[in-house]
Structure 1
């Protein structure tokens, strides 16, 4: 049976829903709608007052929806739109217990994703773990990350509007979560892929260290930062295709959202290597000097986050996902493979390939590219993140996820994103794990580690101090 429940915070009474899974408060606005004159601007403060209806989901960010294969994790779906700055709170009870808080940042390549309607079993997770789970929506794509400061002036100097949205949501959590049974002084951030990159970027932002205590990063370390000149090239191409002259604010505000979504698909690369190599044509965190004051690795090295605990994980076969989805072409020649490696290692591509051939003989050219990209985009940057944190005296823990589903004789490998349903205990919505008792047991262990980490910052494997022997392997 479902009934309503109230939580009082400040001048607002939040009315949510209660049933056997606990309390949930949905679609809470944490910033003004980023529409009209606020489009392409940082989030503006919003103060909730009076009775706030928190019984229905808000909109997920505007995005291009893509068909998913039958084996992909799935949920109930969601509606999208520009008025998307809302969040959802799941708690065992809106009381004064001060439970650990986990704030989840969704993934989706900085182009898609949502804080609801996905495969996550949010209420069940919060109740089983006895934590408060918060899932914010934030802007993605051009609306969230197109760098406009160079051509539209200081009001739009912040390229990372999606990152600033996430920070605004964290400030709401800090100010209000006690009314929902959470401890504002014990906040753990967890995300996968672009959500994890967003969390990791916080290490390069001033004035946010008090908003969280820990970070659990899944396939999104503190290294994928876009140089201003690369972001500017994407912006110039976008504006040219949109027939918007630099500085023409009226034309920018008048663009239909459907046009924005269509154009962003045209200006971005689809090849995983081209997207993630230096100078790649992609959306993501831009080193704009405004919303991101310094490179996150420099922020970690400075010791400013020395007292924050970090888990940085990756899957063994990260890049396999893009080949499985058909987004990556087969590599047809050794020269093409060397060019792909050379995007990341231009000075020693031949030596890198020779080392791979010695380590993994008799792979195909495409398989060598896949192994290289899995390491270059995810594994090696995660290790650099842990190294920077450890060098500054911080506690960090690394893991590699190597569970392979039996689907089609294991052809998907341990691909990008496969660990997230395990960490959050959402295997009921993961067809690839159906009937796999070993997967269930692994999920229980991984979820237990996330919950323990959120409670006290500890996991049951050694901290990373420079040796990869400390990396936890999940199989």
Structure 2
């Protein structure tokens, strides 16, 4: 609604005239007084106030990573004089324009480039006395795409509603952030984990500067969905990250549980060099290859190897233990955590081919056999276990649940169990149970549907916009749990019943929707039969016969 009537406009114009008459230093003082100018260790920043929140966008936390800095650990930012505008998002790491058939960022798309170590801060009010909890969001998109500036990642509503300081960020991805070059040249020893080292640099920036934005550096929670959650898993086995955050929230981030030693992952590097026509002694020349050519060569190299993406590597220097090792679980369990999944994680992949909606009983059994390498009788046992949730469930319903469990829900639950078994810090298991009514409900509760609920940006995603009162209530409940966790280290809050930490006797999950409830051993029959099947990686599922019958 436009409330700028004639009287309001006259007042605005009169105020503008007075403002123009003031000396420049008076304007600067006014900006500082209302919290839109904040001084960091690198220099002063000017933000913008909207809806009770001040945002600072495109703030550099590390130097430009191009040229001689390509593939290197992040370098410090050069300090600046005067006041630097922080009013627009910074560059995203070079990547594809689309991910999973959907725009990564709603138009207008921010520019891409190697000067991508930037972050955004949303605060209800600057000032060192506020000491609000800090929630640092690490974006999804696997290790190959995404950014912290999408419409659903606007931190305004979360900062205002939760009275927290929200940080989103960009960092190096794909070949720029995870090229495993260290085994060929010691000068590039950090290249395979450069993207993770960027995240550490961002968290170090938070420790140094967030108090000036009204945040408490002793109460930093990292949270992330999909690839963001996977990056949090990798951070948890990096000693340098240990003092930089207190809690973690992993939303469907199963993609880093299978990280491998760097020496086992030479093929992508060798193939990249072959595609570019370079030798193993030519790594310095890689720093001069144009961005578009380097990105395209990496895509070609991965396609030639039938691989999906580059990932962090267990190099013994930055990542010291595989996440699924006993030592890796112990490191992850050293901090309180929330692990969560959505109701039907696999629908975004399955619905890329709408013929999957008409899968038959025979096709369902055949695809389960092929995916898990089992015989027909065993496949029928799997189907029967999944039908214990409802005997009239269609073949499509069963396919969605089998694929969702294999893709996300089973590995996330197993990680929760492994952390709980250490007896260290509490870990809480959640199921986000809201389902979209769009297209007669075929999407269910797909992968990433929880992101706009956590940020309070339901109007920014087509699957959540128009969700009405029920969606709004589910958003309030999810936000309340995450804010409580960031504030106190426990998700207990008045919007839901008591949420017990996970244990192997009860296996409790909090189902979060318009109303919330605790369920012990959720989908027990599915869990029990799933434990007898071969584990599947995200690549195995998204490229396998469950999703692609011809695979």
With the shorter chain as reference, the TM-score category is 0.7 to 0.9
Question: Quick one: which of 379, 404, 418 aligns to 1:388?
Answer: 418
- 1:25 lines up with 2:56 in the alignment: yes
- Counterparts of 2:413 and 2:507 in 1: how far apart (Å)? 12
1:219 aligned onto 2:245: no
In the other structure, the counterpart of 2:290 is: 256
Q: Write the mapping of 1:178-327 to structure 2, written as runs, cut at 5 A.
A: 178-221=211-254, 223-228=257-262, 231-268=265-302, 281-298=308-325, 303-304=330-331, 306=333, 308-326=335-353
Using the TM superposition, give the Cα deviation of residue 307 of structure 1 relative to its aligned residue in structure 2, in angstroms.
Answer: 5.0
- Work out the CA distance in 2 between the residues paired with 1:63 and 1:328: 30
1:464 aligns with 2:491: no
- Matching residue of 2:138: 105
- Residue of structure 1 aligned with 2:111, choices 67, 75, 79: 79
Match of 2:407 in 1: 377
**Structure 1's 187 and 54: CA in aligned 2 closer, same or farther, altered over 3 A?**
same
Name 1:473's counterpart in structure 2: 511
TM-score by length of 1: 0.88
Partner of 2:549: none
Deviation at 1:444, TM superposition (A): 0.9
**Counterpart Cα distance in 1 of 2:260 and 2:356:** 24
Residues 132-151 of structure 1 aligned to structure 2 (within 5 Å): 132-151=165-184
Greater relative contact order (CA < 8 Å, ≥ 6 in sequence) = 1
C-alpha separation between the residues in 2 aligned to 1:180 and 1:191? 21
411-420 vs 320-329, greater mean Cα deviation: 320-329
Q: Distance in 1 between matches of 2:116 and 2:88?
A: 13
1:41-60 mapped onto 2 (5 Å cutoff): 41-51=72-82, 52-60=84-92
Using structure 2 for the length normalisation, give the TM-score: 0.76
CA distance in 2 between partners of 1:28 and 1:71 (Å): 24
2:384 match: 358
Partner of 2:543: none
Whether the aligned pair in 2 keeps the contact of 1:71 and 1:430 (CA below 8 Å) is: no
Residues of 2 paired with 1:451 and 1:355: CA distance?
Answer: 42
CA distance, structure 2, for counterparts of residue 458 and residue 429 of structure 1? 29
**C-alpha displacement at 1:41, in angstroms?**
1.6
2:232–2:250 CA contact under 8 A, matched in 1: yes
> Cα 1:440–1:365, aligned 2, differ >3 Å: closer, same or farther?
closer
**Structure 1 match to 2:439:** 408
CA RMSD of aligned residues (A): 3.2
- Aligned to 1:254, the other structure's residue is in SS state coil
Structure 1 or 2, whichever has the larger Rg, is 2
Displacement of 1:262 in angstroms is 2.0
Question: In the TM superposition, what are the counterparts of 1:115-126 in structure 2 within 5 Å?
Answer: 115-126=148-159
Select 1:397's aligned residue among 405, 420, 428. 428
1:466 and 1:211 map into 2 onto residues whose CA distance is 30
Count matched residues: 463
Say whether the 8 Å CA contact 1:105–1:190 is kept in structure 2.
Answer: yes
Equivalent position of 1:438 in the other structure? 470
Query: Following TM superposition, by how much is the alpha carbon of 1:447 offset from its aligned partner in structure 2, in angstroms?
Result: 0.9
Distance in 1, Cα, partners of 2:477 & 2:443: 23
CA deviation vs aligned residue, 1:425-454 (integer Å, no higher than 9, x gap): 110112222332211111111111111111
- Pairwise CA distance, 1:88: 0.9
- Residues 71 and 432, structure 1, Cα contact 8 Å, conserved in 2: no
When residues 467 and 416 of structure 1 are mapped into structure 2, their CA distance, relative to the original with a 3 A threshold, is farther
SS at match of 2:184: helix
| Cα distance, 1:215 vs structure 2 | 0.5
How far has the Cα of 1:339 moved from its partner?
Answer: 3.9
Q: Distance in 1 between matches of 2:103 and 2:57?
A: 28
5+ long unaligned stretches in structure 2? 1-11, 17-29, 493-498, 514-551
Give 3-state SS (helix, strand or coil) of 2:202's partner: helix
Q: Is the 8 A contact 1:85 1:165 kept in 2?
A: yes
Q: 1:286 to 1:171 in 2, by over 3 A?
A: same
Gaps (5+ residues) in structure 1? 343-347
In 1, the alpha carbon distance for the partners of 2:178 and 2:356 equals 27
Contact 2:323–2:329 under 8 Å retained in 1: no
2-structure distance, mates of 1:130, 1:394: 25
